[in-house]
Structure 1
Amino acid sequence: MGAMTLVRPPAPKLEPRDLIVREGPFTVAERDAIPDNGYRHELLDGLLLMTPAPLPPHQDVVGSLYVRMRAAVPRELKVYLAPFDVYLDDRNVLEPDLLVTRRSDVKRRGLFTAPLLAVEMISPSTRSYDLGPKMEILAAAGCPSYWTIDPKVPELTAWTLREGRYVEEARVAAQETWTATEPFPVAITPTELLDL
């Protein structure tokens, strides 16, 4: 008997800048079983959303925000960058671009409760998800604060959870400085987040 050869089916061809949406419903187990293909995999109410690696302006803003927040975070809290899984239930696993959570809530595989703050960088391909289903899912899970940043403008919008819905707390223009009070005090000027 000859040696067996394992033949793998060809990987699907993915265009490097495509946002891929797969109708489901998918479960967390199915999402977790997807092999690494260079895309971030999020599950929004059973819908599989795959996003490619971010572009440099996105990374500049996220990295600068992380450094600023990491310098100000109190000891009992942690700041994380994507990819970092937030498991909310069997149909929802999110990977915010940046999040803040209680140190005591972090588990080996990620977070199994809503963060205290989720931050998303707005891009043309993800805008409708970041300002739609992701906001709704995080609000339903009880995430107290949600920020969106448009690196092209640049502009930061801070949302606060009130009576189960996000309401706009602040819209911070490029040169303005805003001091967040939750989940901890930190001053942010959108243009300073760009690597100019």
Structure 2
Amino acid sequence: MTLMEFSPDEPKVPWRPSEPLTKDDLDRMPDDGHRYEVIDGTLLVTPAPSRLHQRVVAAVYRTLFDTCPANLEVLFAPFDVVISPDTVLQPDVLVARREDFTDNDLPKAPLLAVEVLSASTKRIDVMLKWSRLEAAGCPAYWVVDPDTPSLIGWELRDGAYAQVAKVAGDEPVVLTSPYDVTVVPADLIL
């Protein structure tokens, strides 16, 4: 089946009822304030994040940016991470080698992906994204829960994620992948 579009008066949204969606389909999505991701060919659309979510994303970004080595780069969403033709994610924060980026995306798993949990994305973040990034070989994955506040970190060991950190409140943790950084969950809630 070929790509079909709605009438010219409606937003142009690709629709392929019998085929998985791809990055090419995702590139045709409207710029309307929603986050569009594709996991295993299935479109995920999430609403714009809350103010608290964005404040925590900013705090995670600053924490990582402040100690980032020159050969790496820290970015925050929206920025596409293409781990396969049918799986394009947008981690809330990511760290990757500068040389691995294109102008438009990161065509491989990052060195670190961070998700800040919210009610609308929690299951996606701790199940789907976690498993897809693990399978893609992303060396480190963190989730931050602003409601607690807490952080859980995993690192890839022999092809599977192993939990390396679980902290809450004022408890500091030193995470070492992809570089040494100290995180205090309470400090991320501004």
Q: Do they superpose with TM above 0.5?
A: yes
How far 1:164 sits from its partner (Å)?
A: 2.1
How far 1:128 sits from its partner (Å)?
A: 1.1
Which one-letter code corresponds to 1:9 in the other structure? D
TM-score (norm 2): 0.90
1:37 to 32, 35, 53: 32
Contact 2:11 2:30 in 1 (8 A): no
Larger Cα-atom Rg: 1
List gaps (5 residues or longer) in structure 1: 1-6, 13-21
Using the alignment, how far apart are the partners of 1:148 and 1:70 within structure 2? 17
- Please list the CA deviations of residues 116-167 of structure 1 after superposition, one character each: whole Å capped at 9, or x if unmatched: 0000011122111111111111111100000000001000000111222212
| 1:1-196 equivalence runs, <5 A | 8-11=8-11, 25-195=20-190
Which one-letter code corresponds to 2:158 in the other structure? E
Aligned residue pair count: 180
Alignment RMSD (CA, Å): 1.7
Contact 1:24 1:48 in 2 (8 A): no
Using the alignment, how far apart are the partners of 1:87 and 1:188 within structure 2? 27
Which one-letter code corresponds to 2:131 in the other structure? E
Summarize the Cα distance change of 1:23–1:122 in structure 2 as closer, same or farther, 3 Å threshold.
Answer: farther
Which one-letter code corresponds to 1:98 in the other structure? V
Using the alignment, how far apart are the partners of 2:88 and 2:112 within structure 1? 15
Using the alignment, how far apart are the partners of 1:176 and 1:67 within structure 2? 19
TM-score (norm 1): 0.87
Secondary structure of 2:135's match?
helix
How far 1:23 sits from its partner (Å)?
A: 9.6
How far 1:93 sits from its partner (Å)?
A: 0.4
Stretches (4+) displaced over 6 A: none
How far 1:24 sits from its partner (Å)?
A: 6.0
Which one-letter code corresponds to 1:193 in the other structure? L
- Please list the CA deviations of residues 43-74 of structure 1 after superposition, one character each: whole Å capped at 9, or x if unmatched: 11111111111101111111011112111000
Which one-letter code corresponds to 2:72 in the other structure? L
Summarize the Cα distance change of 1:24–1:47 in structure 2 as closer, same or farther, 3 Å threshold.
Answer: farther
The aligned residue for residue 15 of structure 1 is none
Question: Identity of aligned pairs, percent?
Answer: 43
Contact 2:155 2:177 in 1 (8 A): no
Summarize the Cα distance change of 1:60–1:23 in structure 2 as closer, same or farther, 3 Å threshold.
Answer: farther
Secondary structure of 2:38's match?
strand
Using the alignment, how far apart are the partners of 1:87 and 1:152 within structure 2? 30
- Please list the CA deviations of residues 5-49 of structure 1 after superposition, one character each: whole Å capped at 9, or x if unmatched: xx733459xxxxxxxxx9962111111111212111111111111
